[in-house]
Structure 1
Amino acid sequence: MRDFLGLGVGTIVSASIFTLPGEVAARHAGPAVMISFVLAAIVAGLVAFAYAEMAAAMPFAGSAYSWINVIFGEFFGWIAGWALLAEYFIALAFVGSGLSANFRALIAQFGWQLPNSLSNTFGTNGGVMDLVAVIVIIAVSLLISRGVSNAARVENLLVVLKVFAILLFVVVGLFAVKKANFIPFVPKYQATADGAFGGWQGIYAGVSMIFLSYIGFDSIAANSAEAVEPEKTMPRGILGSLLIAVTLFVLVSFVLIGVMPYKRYINSAEPVGFALRAIGHPGVAIVVQTIAVIGMFTALIGMTLAGSRLIYSFGRDGMLPKWVGKLDKENRPNRALAVLTIVAVVIVAFLPFAFLSQLVSAGTLISFMFVSLGIYALRQREGKDIPDPAFKMPMYPVMPILGFLASLMVFIGLSSDAKIYAGVWFLIGLVIYFVYGISHSALSKRKSKKE
C-alpha cells in the first residue's frame, strides 16, 4: 500500500506543481487558479473511482487497455491503450525536459552552464540534443530494469523529499502572504491571445490547462498485477494519492498568489523559486529547487513503470510484435521497457515536442471516458466471468456517467491544435491495428484455430 501511494503521489506531484500554478494564474484564472485545481481534481476523482473498481476487479498489467479489451473487445481496447501510450511517451519526455530545464537553471546560479547544443532539442535555439533529459530518462530505465522493489524504495524516499520541499515553500511563503493579492479573487472576463482570462471562462480554461497534473494516478492501476491484495491496495493508492495531490496543489497556489501579484508569473518556468527569491529567501529557493529537480525522478519512475507495462501488454496480446511481450529470466518486461526508453529518448533529445504536450491530456481524457462508461458493462459481469471486487464505485449508476461527462467537458476545453494532434495520433493507431494488430492478435489466432 505504501509503495503504491508513493508511486501515485510521486507521479501526480511532479514538474507541474513547481511550474503550472503561476502560469495558469497569470494567463487564465488569476487567484481563482485554486478553483481550477479543485475542479480538475473533482473530474479526476470521478474517474479515479472507476479506475479503482476496474483495478480491483481486474488486477493485471495494461491498465485501461486491458480492462477495455475485456469489457468492450479488442478494437476499443486498442484505441484506449493507444491513447494512453501517447500520454506515456509525451509525458515522459515532457517531465524529462522539465527536469533538465530546472537543473540547468539551478546550476547556472553557481556559474555552470551547458552549451546550447546540449541544452535544447534539435533545431531549437542552436540545439542538437537535450543531454540532461536523455541521461535522466536512461538512468530511470536502468533503475527499473533491476526490479520494481528497488524502484519503489527510491520512489518512496524521493516522494518524502519532494513533499518536504513543497511544505517548506508553503511554511516560508505563508509569512509573506498579502490579502491584496487575492482581490479580486475572480478577475473580470476578457478575451486574450491565450484564450479566456477571468470569469468562469478563465477558470474553465485553467482546468483544461492543468488537467495533466492529475493524470498520474493511472500509473498505479498499470502496475496492479504486482500488488498484494489489489482489491484493497488499488483503491486506497489511487484515491489516497489524488487527495494528497490536490491538497498540495491548492496550498502551493495559495502561497504563490499571496506573496506576489499573479501577473508577475507570466512566462516563468520556475515560479516557486522566483517567489522565494522575491521575498528575500534565495537560500531556501536553492534548497527547494534542488529537491524539486531530484523529486522529478519520482514522476519519471511512475511513468516509465506504467508505460513499459502497457507496451508489454500490447506485445503479449499480439497487437505489437510478440518479442515486445516477452519477460526476462526475472519475469521483468525489460524488452518493452527498452522500447519505451528508446522512443522517449528520441523525442526528448531530438524532436521539439512542446506542440505535442497537450496530447498528454487529450489521449488520457479519451481513455478516461472509456473507463467511466466501462463500469456499466463491468457491473453486468462481476461475480460471473469477472471476480466480484471488494471495492465498487459509489453512487452507481450516476457517478460513471458524471465521470464521462466531466472528462468530455475538459476535452472540449483543450486547444484546437491538441484535438488535431490527437486525431493524427489515432489515425496512426488505426493503421497499425488494421495492418498488423487485427491479424496477429491473440484473439484472431484463437478464432483461426476454431475455424
Structure 2
Amino acid sequence: MGFTKRASFSTYYQKDKKLEQVLGVRDFLALGVGTIISTSIFTLPGIVAAEYAGPAVVFSFLLAAIVAGLVAFAYAEMSTVMPFAGSAYSWISVLFGEGFGWIAGWALLAEYFIAVAFVGSGFSATFQNLLGQLNFHMPAALASPFGTKGGIVDLISLLVIAVSSFVVWRGASDAGRVGQILVVLKVAAILVFIFVGLTVIKAHNYVPFIPAHNPKTGFGGVSGILSGVSMIFLAYIGFDSIAANSAEAKNPKRTMPIGILGSLLIAVVLFSAVTLVLVGMHPYSSYAGNAAPVSWALEKAGFGTLSVVVSVVADAGMFVALLGMVLAGSRLLYAFGRDGMLPAKVGNLDKRGLPSNGLLVLTVVAIVIGAFFPFAFLAQLISAGTLVAFIFVSLGMFALRPREGKDLPDASYKMPFYPILPALGAIGSVIVFEMLDPAAKLGAFIWFILGIIVYTLYGSKHGKIKKQ
C-alpha cells in the first residue's frame, strides 16, 4: 500500500540538491530566534499572567520550553541524518511511509498557513497601536478583518505578508541577511526593556508568586500554570522552521543542531527574563486584555519614548518571524509537489532553483486568512498542528536509530538519553495537546478530515513515493 510505502532517502537527497545551499549558522540562529521571539514575547506574558498564572507565568513558559526542548533534540538529530525540505513530512515519509508523512506534513501546513496569518495580524495590531500614538488612525474598513469592528480587510496584515514573501522570493540568503539585522535590533530592544524594567520593579508585585487557585475561573495554582502552558506553547514552534530549510544549509551536520538548539536556548532565557520583569513592574491583573503589555508597561512607568521604540522593534521582530515562517511553509509545499502529494507545479523550481510556486500558494492562502480572520481566532488554532508533528517526530526516533549507519547516514548529533527523552517528548506533546482549547482541537479535527480527503482523492493516486 502507498500509505505505508517508505520514501527513498537517495531520491529525496538528489532532488533537494537542486536547492541552493546558502544558509549558515548565523542565518539559522537569526531565523530561529526571530521566529520564536516574535508576536508571543510582546503579547503573551501579560495576558497569561492576568488570566491564568499570575507571577508564576514564568513556570508556564519553562514547562512549555521543556516539552519543546525534548522534541528539539529529536529535530536536531533527524535534520543531520536527513537534511531535506519539508522537515517532519519528509522524515516521517522515509521512516514510516507516505500516508504517515502526509498526516505529519498536513499538520505542519496548518501551522504555517495560520502562523503566517497570525504574525501578520499581530504586526498589524502593533503597527496600528504605534500609529495611534502618533494620532493617525486607519479607516475602520481597512483596519480589521471582515466582520470585526466594522472592518472589511486588514490591509496592513495583507501588505506585510506580501512584502515578506517578496523578500523570500529574492532568495533564502537575502531573507537570512535581513533576519540577522532585524534580530540584532530586536534582541537589543528586549535587553534594554529588561534592564530598564529592573529599575522600577516592586517586590510586592511578586506576592503571592503562585496565587491561590480559583475553581470558578480556573485562575491560579498549579492548574493555572498548566493552563498557561497550552496558550504559551505556540511561542516555541519556531525551531521547526529551521529544520524545514535544512536542504538549503551549507553544512547541515553542523548548522542544524546549533541552529535548532541554540535558538531555543536563547528564546527560553529571553522569555523568562521578560516575563519576570513584566510582572514585577506592575500588578499582573493590570495586564488583563492587554495585547501590547511590554510597550504599555514602559509607558506607564514613565518611559514613553522607549515605549514607542519598543513598538517599532516589535514589528521588526514580527517581520523576521514572517520571513522564517514563509521560508519554511513554501519549502513544505515544494516537498508536497516534489512527491506528487499536491499538483506537480507546486514542487517546481524556478530558473534560480527556488520553489516560487510553493511560495505563491502560501502567500495567497496566508493573506486571505490573515486579512479576513480575527487575531484571537488564529491564536486558538496555531499550536494543534505543530503538536501533532512533534508527536510524530518524537516517535520517529524509535524508527531512526536502528537505521542509522545502515540504509541511512550516521547522525553527526545524537539525541541524549535515548530512548527516554523521545518517549517523554511524545508524552509531553500529547499532554499539551489535551490542554488546548476545545475550539482548537475541533479545528484540528476538521483540518485532518480535510487532509484525509485530499490524500484519498489525490495524493494516494499521484504520490511518487510508491513508484520508487
Q: Is residue 2:347 matched to residue 1:325?
A: yes
Q: 2:14 matched to which residue of 1? A: none
1:444 positional shift: 3.6
The equivalent of 1:149 in structure 2 is 173
Counterpart of 2:96 in structure 1: which amino acid?
F
Return the letter of the residue paired with 2:195: V
Q: TM-score, normalised by structure 1?
A: 0.97
CA distance in 1, matches of 2:40, 2:172: 24
Q: How many residues align?
A: 444
Runs of 4 or more off by more than 6 Å in structure 1? Answer: none
- Which of 318, 321, 340 is equivalent to 1:296? 318
Distance (Å, rounded) in 2 between the aligned partners of 1:192 and 1:314: 46
SS in 2 for 1:190: coil
- Residues 37, 317 of structure 2: 8 Å contact kept: no
Instruction: Report the CA distance shift for 1:240/1:141 in structure 2 as closer, same or farther (over 3 A).
Output: same
Which residue of structure 1 lines up, in the alignment, with residue 67 of structure 2? 43
Give the secondary structure class of the aligned counterpart of 2:215.
strand
1:96 counterpart = 2:120: yes
Shift of the 55–250 alpha-carbon distance from structure 1 to 2, 3 Å rule, reads same
Alpha-carbon distance between aligned partners in 2 of 1:348 and 1:32, rounded to the nearest angstrom? 32
Are 1:236 and 2:233 matched, yes or no?
Answer: no
* Secondary structure at 1:91 match in 2: helix
Gaps of 5+ in 1: 447-451
**Residues 68, 236 of structure 2: 8 Å contact kept:** yes
Q: Deviations over 1:198-251 (max 9, x none)?
A: 111000001111000001001110000011221111011100000000110011
Which amino acid counterpart does residue 394 of structure 1 have in structure 2? P
* 8 A Cα contact 2:168 2:175, kept in partner: yes
Map Cα deviations across residues 263-301 of structure 1 (whole Å, 9 max, x no partner). 000000100111011111101101111111122101000
Structure 1 position 83 matched with structure 2 position 107: yes
Partner SS, residue 191 of structure 1: coil
Decide which of 365, 377, 395 is 2:417's aligned counterpart.
395
Which of 26, 29, 40 is matched with 1:5 structurally? Answer: 29
**Which amino acid is the alignment partner of residue 5 of structure 1?**
L
Which residue does 2:249 correspond to in 1?
227
Contact 2:76–2:413, Cα closer than 8 Å, also in 1: yes
Question: 1:253 is matched with which residue?
Answer: 275
Distance 2:383 2:448 in 1: 14
Equivalent in 77, 95, 111 of residue 53 of structure 1? 77
State the one-letter code of the partner of 1:116: A
Amino acid paired to 2:229: V
* Identity between Structure 1 and Structure 2 (%): 61
CA contact under 8 A between 1:168 and 1:288: conserved in structure 2? no
1:372–1:143 CA distance, 2 compared to 1 (3 A): same
- Greater displacement, 321-330 / 229-238: 229-238
Decide whether the 8 Å contact of 1:3 with 1:152 is kept in 2: yes
- Which amino acid in the other structure matches residue 270 of structure 1? A
CA distance in 1, matches of 2:233, 2:405: 34
Work out whether 1:217 is the aligned partner of 2:239.
Answer: yes
Structure 2-normalised TM-score?
0.94
2:411 alignment partner AA = P
Distance 1:124 1:28 in 2: 26
Q: What residue in structure 1 maps to residue 337 of structure 2?
A: 315
CA deviations on 1:32-56 (whole Å, 9 max, x unpaired) are: 0011111111110000000000101
Structure 2 residue runs without a partner (length 5+): 1-24
CA RMSD of aligned residues (A): 0.9
| Alignment counterpart, residue 21 of structure 1, candidates 33, 45, 59 | 45
Q: What pairs with 1:377-416 in structure 2 (closer than 5 Å)?
A: 377-416=399-438
Deviation at 1:356, TM superposition (A): 4.0
> Aligned partners of 1:42 and 1:350: how far apart in 2?
34
Q: Which digits, 9 at most, give the CA deviation of each residue in 1:378-431, with x for residues without a partner?
A: 011111111001101100111110100111111111111111110000000000
**Contact 2:243/2:260 (CA < 8 Å) preserved in 1?**
yes
Instruction: Name which of 357, 364, 371 aligns with 1:335.
Output: 357
Partner SS state of residue 92, structure 1: helix
Q: Find the counterpart in structure 2 of residue 163 from structure 1.
A: 187
How many angstroms does 1:353 deviate by? Answer: 5.8
The secondary structure found in structure 2 opposite 1:128 is coil
Q: Aligned pair 1:72/2:126, yes or no?
A: no
- Could you tell me how far apart the structure 2 residues matched to 1:102 and 1:353 are? 12
CA distance in 2, matches of 1:215, 1:86: 13
The question of whether the paired residues in 1 share the 8 Å contact of 2:140 and 2:151 is answered with yes
Q: Is contact 2:118-2:378 (8 Å) kept?
A: no
1:306 aligns with 2:292: no
Q: Does the CA contact (< 8 Å) of 1:8 and 1:237 recur in 2?
A: yes
The Cα shift of 1:352 comes to 3.6
Task: State the alpha-carbon separation in 1 of the partners of residues 395 and 380 from structure 2.
Answer: 23
Partners of 1:70 and 1:140 lie apart in 2 by 32
